[in-house]
Structure 1
Amino acid sequence: MKSSPLYVLMAFASALSSSLANILDPLNPKDGSATELSLKFQPALDFDKDSCYHVTALDLKGHFNEGLRPNHPVGASVCRTADRLAHSNAYVRRRCNHYWCAYMYGYYFEKDEGPFVSHIHDWEHVIIWTLHNEIFYVSWSAHGNYTTKHISDSALRFHEGTHIKIVYHIGSGPWSTHSLRLAKGSDEPPENHWGRWFVAWLVEVTWMEPWSKMLLQHNWGEKPHPDMREDDFGMKLKETAPWDAIHNEGFDPWSDADTWATTSLLSGMGLRSNFTSVEELVQQDL
């Protein structure tokens, strides 16, 4: 029996109402949410039209994003609404020693829906590797596995000089799901609602107490979780660390010994947040 137009409309309205309930106010402390260097190296993202936008995973009131079930009746259109761009956080955790710094940026998506394989919640990550505060390598994730390229690789494209361009997309096979990839020339101009490379409000997870503990210890289910968790963080840095970082300068994937000294003494900078309100962010993009 065919569904009536009214039934389809009611189903769409129900789905839209459910998705709007997931929109959380982003964490955006006015006192400063990230270091200048974390902001300087923050990736600039775009999203293919069949892909969700990344959003806030946890708000200031301690509410977790409930995510969206993969069989959501209207697919990616619900998790790709323009208002999600103004309600988004990116998360970063740094580890610095022996003149190297690894900046791991984490992105939360409400679901990952492919043709035949899907799951609620998705986390993907980008690692920027710097030596003496200059980018030398970039690593990005696909379902927990990382690819690393040297800054000299022509495939790397940057927005305003220091923001690696990354696209959230779905693979080509029937069993594919979403992951990150490097941007290509054909990705210009960006396809998101704002028509520009997107840089969300950035929050250092180690400065988010008590939210950081809540965020990193939360059970996101069997599928991807933040690689910024303590054991996962060190392990992923060990797996992706450039050969010369380990063998030349002796970078330690497990040590935070110089994290604060490296980012403050070598840069001589303070702290700031990207924006102070959602309204300010929206005004800047009108």
Structure 2
Amino acid sequence: MRTSYLGSALLAIAEVVLAYSSPILRDNDVFRRDVLTKLPRNADENSLRFQPALDFDKDSCYNTAAVDVQGNLNPGLPNKGSPSAGCRDISRLDNANVYSRSRCNNGWCAYITGRGTGGHVHDWENVVVFVQNNKRIARVAPSAHGEYKGATNNPVLDGDHPLIVYHKNGLSTHAFRIAKEEERYDVENDFGWWQIADLVAWDGYPSGFVQEQLTHHDFGKATIKLVDSRFGDNLKKAAGDSIPGFDPYQG
């Protein structure tokens, strides 16, 4: 039976990005080289407060740290095998980070979680959380291959944490989706509770070098939406017509 326990009481910021690696060849193969030591949690109170809590369907991969304190990048996993082969080792959750960036103006703050598209060595999708006056979650928009068609103004919450599931949504692709109410007590990850990984805010990296190593790296088709060239456009797309007055390019 699923438990609703939510680890630590963390918050979320405008963009939280998760690094995932694609599946490997055999279920019993664990490529330890792709598990880096995570960065320490370093984010502001409001970013932690609204951070999405995640679960992972059994046919999907766990996220893990994308960069370590020395600036070493996660090499990813070979793009082979079944959609969840060898990438659900518990050490990945033990060393998971979430990366974030926020934008606040006109009474609104925006918060994203990220991961790309399935079938790549690295996978970045994102979840955007829009909060009004630092009190009310007005909209949660999980990405699915660059689109936010699953966005809702009535998300399933545990306190101030939106509940988000990483799932298989195609023959060999994965994406985020809003959890269903009946899934609240039906967690499928190995810990048995909703996961809130250590959050690293845009200004919370141990050094500028580490941040640049991550944000300037070419991950191919899997792109990080926190960088200046993509951040505002993705906030605009996630907001749709539901966040009146919010400027995705200001602040």
Q: Same fold (TM over 0.5)?
A: yes
Given the alignment of the two structures, is residue 255 of structure 1 paired with residue 240 of structure 2, yes or no? no
Specify whether residues 185 and 51 from structure 1 end up closer, same or farther in structure 2 by C-alpha distance, changes over 3 A only. same
* Larger helix proportion of the pair: 1
1:137 aligns with 2:146: no
Residue 201 of structure 2 is aligned with which of 199, 204, 212? 204
1:88-103 counterparts in 2 under 5 A?
88-103=96-111
Deviation at 1:244, TM superposition (A): 5.3
Structure of larger gyration radius: 1
Conserved? CA contact 2:71–2:209, under 8 Å: no
Tell whether the 8 Å contact from 1:43 to 1:165 is kept in structure 2 after alignment: yes
Q: 1:87 to 1:252 in 2, by over 3 A?
A: same
Q: Is 1:47 paired with 2:56?
A: yes
Match of 1:263 in 2: none
- Describe the shift of the 1:63–1:215 C-alpha distance in structure 2 as closer, same or farther (beyond 3 A): same
Report SS of the residue matched to 1:142.
coil
Q: Distance in 2 between matches of 1:62 and 1:14?
A: 29
Q: Measured at CA, do residues 39 and 169 of structure 1 come closer, stay the same or move farther in structure 2, by a change above 3 Å?
A: same
1:80 correspondence with 2:88: yes
Match of 2:77 in 1: 68
The answer to whether 1:123 aligns with 2:131 is: no
Amino acid in the other structure paired with 1:190: V
Normalised TM-score (structure 2):
0.81
* Offset of residue 105 of structure 1: 2.3
Alpha-carbon contact 1:128-1:138 (below 8 Å) kept? yes
Checking the alignment, whether the CA contact within 8 Å between 2:141 and 2:152 is kept in structure 1 is yes
- Deviation digits for residues 51-110 of structure 1 (CA, Å, limit 9, x no counterpart): 1001111111111011111215x76241111111110001111001111111122347xx
Aligned counterparts of 1:244 and 1:50: Cα–Cα separation in 2: 32
Separation in structure 2 between the aligned mates of residue 68 and residue 179 of structure 1, nearest angstrom? 18
CA apart distance, 1:251:
2.1
CA contact (8 A) 2:120 2:222 kept: no
Superposition pairs for residues 231-270 of structure 1, below 5 Å?
231-243=229-241, 245-246=243-244, 250-256=245-251
Q: Distance in 1 between matches of 2:176 and 2:85?
A: 19
Q: Please tell me the residue identity of whatever aligns with 2:68.
A: D
Name 1:178's counterpart in structure 2. Answer: 174
Structure 1 distance, partners of 2:211, 2:250, is 19
Q: Distance in 2 between matches of 1:93 and 1:135?
A: 17
Q: Which runs of 5+ in 2 are unaligned?
A: 1-24
Contact 2:60–2:83 at 8 Å: present in 1 too? no
Secondary structure at the aligned position of 2:231 is classed as helix
CA distance in 1, matches of 2:144, 2:80: 22
Q: CA deviation at 1:225?
A: 1.3
Normalised to the residue count of structure 1, the TM-score between the two structures is 0.72
Amino acid at match of 1:55: T
State the percentage of identical aligned residues.
39
* CA deviations over 1:190-211 (Å, ceiling 9, x no partner): 1111000000000102332232
SS state of the match for residue 113, structure 2?
A: strand
**In the aligned structure 2, how far is the partner of 1:255 from the partner of 1:244?**
17
